[in-house]
Each structure stands twice: as C-alpha cells, then as structure tokens.
Amino acid sequence: MAERRSRLEFGTGFDVATLTPGARRILDVASRLFYEQGIHAVGVDTIAAESKVTKPILYKNFGNKDGLVVAYLRHRHDTWWETLEAAIAAAAAPRALAFFDVYAEDTRTIKRGCAYLNAAAELREGHPAYPVIRHHKHAVCRRLAELITEDLPHVAKPKLLADHLFLLLEGAFAHHQIYGADLLIEARETAESLLRC
C-alpha cells in the first residue's frame, strides 16, 4: 500500500515500462550523467549523442531537459522505493531500522551522495523536479512514521520519533563520505536505542 501511495502522490503520466527502447536509453544515459556529473553540467546534446538518438527524439519523449530531470528523479525514486519495501517486508520489528540497512547498502554503490539533495542544491525551488525531490523525502519520513505506529503502538508521538529518525538517517547518509560508512552503523545503533525506549 505504501509503495502504491508513494508512486501516485506526485501525479501520473510517467511509466518507464511504456518507454520505447530509444527513450529508455535516453533515460538511462541521462540518469547516469546527471548523477555522476550534475544536472547543470550535462546538456541535451551530450545525452542525445551518448544515447545514440536525435535531439527531436529526446524532446518528443521528455518535452525538454526539465522533463528529463523529472523523469530521472521519479524513476530513481520508484526503483529505490521497491528496494526499500522489499527490505521492510523481510525485516523484523521494529521495521524502521530497515531504512538504515538500505541506506548503508546504498553507501557501497553511491559515490556522489544523495541524488535528491544534489538535485535540490542545483535546482531552483520553482523547478518542475522540486515536487519530486520533496515527495521523495516526505515519503521516507511518512513511511517511518507508519512503521513506528504499526510496530510500536505504545509510542505516544510516532510522527515526532519518525522526524528524529529521519534526521539521524539523512544526516548520517549525507556525511558518510566525510566520516566513513561506519557513521550509518552508529546512526542505526542510536535509532535502535530510541525505538526500544
């Protein structure tokens, strides 16, 4: 249910399964380049050339670069959310700790930090992708609160506890490249203490 809700809240109209092979190549190339080099550093000429398509094909499928940025972040969210929900389904209570495990796993493959924080730093607040950035972060916090409510019914203020865990989780992830991956292990231990109070 939470996965479905997470997919629908910021609108419909984009489904990677309906993309043509050329459009899928564009999205894959753009996703890699936007993450590795930054959104502003990558132009549509580069994306089209590396995707082996013409710019009109790119524009036909995504409208413009802004539309491609939106698709990149939405697809990244949907893919990551499926991984998260699988981890939650396999976790023992309190399942909120599964977030720390997923973020810790991300540190093994993600080399430039959080794609959403990176995008937020690059894009102005009125950019069409900003609602996707907000949605992703709010969805994480909301799902934490849902799990705390379900697993720990004695907690008087599950939303407040979820907010604290979210800050702990995000802070550890944002700083792991500076302080090392053990920061997420320490954050998980702190979260476990808070959840068992």
pLDDT digits (tens, 9 = 90+) for 63-108: 999 999 999 999 999 999 999 999 999 999 999 999 999 999 998 8
User: 2-13+70-195 adopts what CATH topology?
Assistant: Tetracycline Repressor; domain 2 (1.10.357)
pTM above 0.95?
no
> Is 137 within 8 Å of 151 (Cβ atoms)?
no
Return the closest-CA partner of residue 51 out of 29, 33, 68: 29
Return the closest-CA partner of residue 144 out of 128, 133, 160, 129: 160
Q: Residue 115 region, left (φ>0) first, then alpha (ψ -120 to 50), else beta? A: alpha
pLDDT tens digits, one per residue of 108-118: 888 888 999 99
pLDDT tens digits, one per residue of 12-63: 446 778 899 999 999 999 999 999 999 999 999 999 999 999 999 999 999 9
Mean pLDDT of the chain: 91
pLDDT tens digits, one per residue of 133-148: 999 999 999 999 999 9
Per-domain boundaries in the chain: 2-13+70-195
> Is 168 within 8 Å of 190 (Cβ atoms)?
yes
- Give pLDDT, residue 6: 53
